[in-house]
Amino acid sequence: MFDKILFLKRDKDLFAKKIISELKKRSKHLSVISTDKSKVKTKNNIKFDFIFAFRSHHILKKKLIKKAKYAAINFHPGPPEYRGIGCVNYALYEKSRNYGATAHLIDEKIDHGRIIDVKIFKIGKADSVESLLNRTYKIQVKQAIQIISSLSRDPENLKKMLKKNKEKRWSKKIKKRIFLNKFYKINKNISRVDLKRKIRATATKKFKPYLTLHGMKFAYTE
């Protein structure tokens, strides 16, 4: 049983609800913060057994990370080969056969801390950005509950997880928002084959690949 836990998530995240439900069973005091609009703030004197971040937008400051007695852990929606943002987009565009979900220690860099656990699964031929993301989040929830359950029984189990995955390493390359924004732009000289790849890797209900011509922007529609 945990004493105090801090859980960081996005606002209105339905996937996070299942993890919160598990944490409520396993902690005496649970603090949940949505990180969409505000900075993550806690009382200066408060300490937590663990800090967990699930699909959180913020890069945690060293001061906050130090508030975790045992560790601050992030659940990253991608395998170690894909760091940063837009991991699903790049995996689909590059025709990767496999994808994954990574749990890791949080440090001051993006997707950089020691790896705790990795779940790898196949990318289907019919997978889109939305279907692959949805499957990834479901696997992440199971991964998070599994890790939380183990750590609530004995926090020292973290050492066993780290030892088991000590050979796993993050990619040196990291994708940032600026790269993803450029990735959505279609070159007017793009080939038919590459255009199909680009559409599969970027088109969702919310976001669309686009072409700029004579100062006008044309977004893809099905």
Helix (H) or strand (E) holding 101: strand 98-105
In this prediction the pTM is 0.92
Predicted pLDDT of residue 149: 96
**In a shared domain, residues 25 and 74:** yes
Burial zone of 40 (CB within 10 Å; 0-12 exposed, 13-18 middle, 19+ buried):
middle
Q: Count the neighbouring beta carbons within 10 Å of the beta carbon of residue 3.
A: 12
Question: Which parts of the chain have pLDDT scores under 50?
Answer: none
At residue 41, the pLDDT reads: 64
Please tell me the total number of residues recorded for the chain in this structure.
Answer: 222
Burial of 156 (0-12, 13-18, 19+ CB in 10 A): exposed
Q: Note whether 21 and 70 are same-domain residues.
A: yes
Give the C-alpha distances (Å, rounded to integers) separating 114 from 4, 19, 144, 150, 175. 23, 22, 16, 18, 19
- Structurally, the chain folds into a number of domains equal to 2
Residue ranges making up the domain that contains 147: 2-175
* Domain shared by 97 and 137, yes or no: yes
* CATH number of the domain encompassing residue 116: 3.40.50.170
pLDDT at 35: 73
Phi and psi at residue 61, to the nearest 5°: -75, 155
If asked whether residues 45 and 66 sit together in one domain, one would say: yes
Shared domain check, 189 and 108: no
The closest alpha carbon to 119, from 96, 97, 142, belongs to 142
Max CA pair span of the chain? 62
What's the chain's Rg over C-alpha atoms? 19
On whether both 161 and 132 belong to a single domain, the answer is yes
Look at residue 39 in the predicted model and tell me its pLDDT. Answer: 60
**Residue 75, pLDDT score:** 97
